[in-house]
């Protein structure tokens, strides 16, 4: 079995204690982190290597964004795409070299898109749609078993949000974002692994705003984090789970980790 986890950590140095806790408790083979908010030389390589995660691919920048993939399995960096078209560090791809050999694992942090779902009034929203369009062009050319994970910043299904009607005009659940993500999905026939195991319309959230004092009581969640796989790879997925309790850990991220296990 090979287990892959993904987590928007919202600053890896600030939240290193909960990253270490997660790795000790779950021991995934590979962990993909988004929004690490540090440059490559600032990444906490040594503490993670001490836990057995000696194989690392980091694409970082100062203070914002950034992605990192840490692994107990040997890997090699496979790709870095600038789907934002402005040099931001939002993607790194790796190829696994040990168990799961040959599998390509793409780690992505899609832009949030600002507050106003209007390309004219809000350039950030246009950048998000364009980012997804570039990802879609790339996906149409994939020719080997691939998994893409990370913070997509879109909750596509009605059951992916706490209130479908109230969020229809809120960035992350607007019809144009959902349609744009569907085009990306169709470009490679990606299988949404989360929804293979936690079936729609079952409640499934991965993010709760820091603004809610009691996130559990309000439960105004959204499913912004995803794990998708090529059809042939998806058939080998055996389990999928999330650590909702991590939203309650000390100095938590506003996102929680997701884990998928494969019989490779």
Q: pTM, whole model, 2 decimals? A: 0.98
pLDDT digits (tens, 9 = 90+) for 149-205: 999 999 999 999 999 999 999 999 999 999 999 999 999 999 999 999 999 999 999
Nearest Cα residue to 100 out of 210, 241, 4:
4
> Which pLDDT does position 98 carry in this prediction?
87
Alpha-helical regions (H) of 101-235: 123-139, 164-167, 175-188, 193-197, 215-218, 231-234
Q: Does domain 2-262 have CATH number 3.40.50.1000?
A: no
Is residue 206 a contact partner of residue 255, using CB atoms and an 8 Å limit? yes
Helix (H) / strand (E) containing 69: strand 67-71
CA 37 to the chain's CA centroid: 15
Is residue 173 a contact partner of residue 128, using CB atoms and an 8 Å limit? no
Give the domain ranges of the chain. Answer: 2-262
**What tokens were used for 142?**
């994939």
pLDDT digits (tens, 9 = 90+) for 203-239: 999 999 999 889 999 999 999 999 999 999 999 999 9
pLDDT digits (tens, 9 = 90+) for 24-51: 999 999 999 999 999 999 999 999 999 9
Nearest Cα residue to 37 out of 56, 6, 59, 57:
59
From residue 190, alpha-carbon distances to 39, 139, 175, 180, 183 in Å are: 31, 9, 20, 14, 10
Alpha-carbon torsion, ordered 67, 72, 75, 77, to 10 deg: 10
CB count in 10 Å sphere of residue 100? 24
């Amino acid at each position: 079995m090979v287990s892959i986890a993904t987590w928007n950590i919202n600053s890896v140095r600030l939240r290193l204690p909960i990253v270490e806790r997660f790795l000790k408790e779950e021991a995934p083979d590979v962990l993909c982190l988004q929004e690490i908010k540090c440059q490559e030389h600032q990444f906490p390589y040594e503490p993670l290597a001490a836990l057995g995660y000696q194989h690392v691919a980091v694409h970082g920048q100062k203070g914002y964004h950034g992605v990192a993939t840490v692994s107990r399995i040997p890997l090699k960096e496979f790709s870095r795409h600038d789907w934002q078209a402005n040099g931001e560090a939002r993607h790194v791809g790796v190829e696994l070299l040990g168990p799961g050999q040959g599998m390509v694992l793409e780690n992505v942090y899609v832009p949030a898109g600002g507050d106003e779902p209007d390309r004219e009034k809000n350039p950030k929203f246009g950048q998000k749609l364009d980012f997804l369009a570039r990802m879609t062009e790339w996906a149409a050319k994939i020719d080997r078993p691939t998994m893409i994970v990370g913070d997509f910043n879109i909750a596509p299904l009605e059951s992916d949000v706490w209130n479908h009607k109230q969020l229809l005009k809120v960035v992350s659940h607007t019809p144009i974002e959902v349609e744009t993500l569907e085009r990306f999905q169709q470009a490679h026939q990606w299988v949404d692994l989360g929804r293979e195991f936690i079936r729609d319309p079952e409640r499934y959230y991965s993010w709760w705003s820091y603004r809610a004092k009691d996130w559990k009581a309000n439960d105004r969640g959204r499913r912004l984090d995803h794990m998708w796989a090529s059809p042939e790879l998806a058939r080998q997925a055996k389990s999928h789970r999330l650590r909702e309790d991590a939203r309650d850990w000390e100095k938590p991220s506003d996102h929680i980790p997701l884990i998928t296990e494969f019989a490779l």
